[in-house]
Structure formats: C-alpha cells, structure tokens
Amino acid sequence: MIARAGFHPVCQLASLRTELHAKYSWSLCNLHHHLQWPTDIFTASQTARTDNLSSRSTERKHRQMVARSMQENGAAERPQPIDTKSRSPSHTQLLLIVTHGDYVLLASLQDHPTSYGPLSGCIQDEEQQQQAAGRIAKQLTGVSIDEASVTPLQAASHTLQAHTCKRQTENGASGLDLLQGQARQCAEEVRLQAHEVDAVLAHPPPLLQLDQAKLADARWFNKRWLIGHSKGQVAASLFRLVLGKDAESPGPMHAWLQEAQTHSPLDQIPDVTIETGVFKYVLLVVTDVAEGRSKLIVRGDRQSGYHMDVYEKANRELAPHKLHVAEPLGGGRIRHDDGAKAITVYGYSSAYGQAPHDLSAALIRQWYPMYTSDNITASYEGY
C-alpha cells in the first residue's frame, strides 16, 4: 500500500491515543474507584466460601474416619457425644457441704474469721466433681469423704454435699462401754440404755487438721442446733455466709438447712436448754411414741430450787409437742461462765441420783459449738 501525501498512519494513531487519554482519564479513574467496593465484597465472599468449604471438608473427613473406625472395631452403634453437663469447666468454683451424721462441717476464711460457711475450692483440669470434692475436703481440713456420696444441692448451683467416711470410736467400744469409771456406774444406776449412749458418743466426727494458710477456723456444728438458731440474732451476726446476706439472696447453707429440716416433734425441741451462773439440772429421755424415736436432753434452770422443779418445768415445755418424758436419769449442777466460755457439770440430785455427767457434757458440747471442748468438763465431786 502507498500512503497518501501528508498522512502518516503511525503519527495519526499516536495523536488519537493522546487525545482519548486526556478526555476520558478522569472518568476511568472515577469508575475504577466506584468498582473497588463491589470488588472487596466479592473477595470477602470468596474467602468465606473457601473457609466454609474447608470446614465442610474437615467434617466430611472426620465422619469418614469415624465410620472406618466403627467398621474396623465392629461397632454396632453410633458413638455418643460427650456429656459436657456432667463435667464442670476447669477452675469452676465449688462449695462443699460435708456432713457426719447429725454434724455439718463449716469453716471461716482468714480474711473473714467470724463468718462460717461451706468449704470452697476450684475444680482442676480433667477433674471430676467427686474427685474435686474429696481433694478440697482433704487439703483444707484433713477430712476424708465418701466420694460416692457426693451429690449436687438442688437448690444452689455449684454446691455439692457429701458424707464423711464412717468413723467409729478409737477403741471400737459401744453402748455403756463408752463410759468409764464413775460415769459408767452412774449410767447403770439410772438404767441408761445402750442405744441412748450410742446416739451421743458412738460416732464422733473426725478430728480436723486445718490448712491455716487459708482457714482461720473450722468446726463441726450440730444440724439441729443450726436449724434452731437459723432465725435468731446469734445466727444473723455469726453466720452471715451460712444464711446469706439477706432474704433476697440466701446463701447455700440456707438452702441446705431448708432441706434438712423435718416435721418430727422430736427434732423441734432443743437438745440442751441451760442458763448462765450456777443452777440445778436434770438429764431426761423424751420419746415420740408415734414415731418410736427417743433422745436425751439436758434441762437446767436457775430459778428452780429443786431438781423436781426443773423436771416439772420441762414437762410443761414438752407437753404441746405430745412427747413422753420419763423420770430423770439423774441430775446435778451446772456452772456456766459465758464470759470465759466455760461450763462445768458436777454434783448430784438427792431426788433422782447422780447423772452420768460425761454424757451430759457431751450433749452440751454439741449445743455450744463456739466453746472449746476442753472448756466443757464433768466432775463427780461436790453437791
């Protein structure tokens, strides 16, 4: 081809390109800017789709591996998922209510030495609740519990209850053999029954070995004493953790006490009623004829001049409960110094004979848990 004069194709193309670039460059840049957002969405969608496909692929491979394993092992059923509800998460805080017969173990922390409540601790990694309960009780108090008895408290979450391993007396004695010397002689004279002695002395709660870095104190509290004091001023001030801060947010022990209460008339009366100072007392056995149950109680009264007066006052107290009160199993005197938190049981009754004061002192220890056991003593001297 022969080009015409004055027209060069290459030069014309270069000129046209320059003109178009100058005319449409802004529009192209603006169009590119507006296309960026849909492009980002498309990129994110592609990424999510890729992740989803990867996850589905992993699940499919897992199902294939499970099916292959079932075929190799001859399994007839599909594997069941792990029950995550029965296993608590690691480091979950637990409360533990430990009981031993009629006793419940409560402790106070170093930073709250006057408030008593259940034991507490955390579940460690890969630890079942029963194992955690046993470890917490042992580490804090030295008490061994029966892990098979560990059950959740229905009314309070993350609260467990457990029983101790049954503990006999050190020498394996029972009945009147639990009493020695003068106490044994007095018990025989007033015809005390073996089962009545066993109810008080046969299964003492375990001795405590405290983790003093964490606990300020720990004690065994009689269940009936706790129930009887759960609405009084003593409990309100002493057991803030036991009863809860207020009625709107009751503590776990409050829920436990509600479950532990019975409607038996025998459980509605206190085991011990005494005053301060020096006064006469009698040891009584009261019986619920309808239920066929009985228990020993101690009654003392500073206003009564004779042991018979103490006995008659006890009869008037128990009459509304329709309980049978037998003749006293002896009597004596009590010296109660509440300032020193000390109680001495001693003397005798000319009307009913001398009570086995060791047994009376054991009952009083149950009803005065904040007194040191060594400060509640028995003597067979004096009047």
Tokens of 122: 């955390």
Distances in Å between the alpha carbon of 350 and those of 31, 272, 329, 354, 358? 117, 22, 12, 8, 19
The answer to whether 163 is a known catalytic residue is no
* Burial class of residue 47 in the structure, from the number of CB atoms within 10 Å of its CB (0-12 exposed, 13-18 middle, 19+ buried): exposed
The answer for residues whose C-beta is within 8 angstroms of residue 107's C-beta and 6 or more apart is 116, 117, 118, 119, 140, 141, 210, 215, 217, 218, 219
Contact 337, 304 (CB under 8 A): no
The pairing of beta strand 93-100 with beta strand 159-163? parallel
Question: Distance between CA atoms of 7 and 34, rounded to whole angstroms?
Answer: 40
Strand partners, 286: 295, 325
Options 100, 229, 254, 307, the catalytic residue: 307
Question: Distance between CA atoms of 362 and 356, rounded to whole angstroms?
Answer: 10
- Tokens 């044994």 belong to 184
Burial 274-297 (b: 16+ CB within 10 A, else e): beeeebbbbbbbbebeeeeebbbb
Q: Three-state DSSP class for 186?
A: helix
* Burial class of residue 229 in the structure, from the number of CB atoms within 10 Å of its CB (0-12 exposed, 13-18 middle, 19+ buried): buried
Helix intervals (H) in the chain? 9-73, 129-141, 181-189, 194-201, 223-229, 233-238, 240-243, 252-260, 265-268, 307-318, 357-367
Residues involved in catalysis: 307
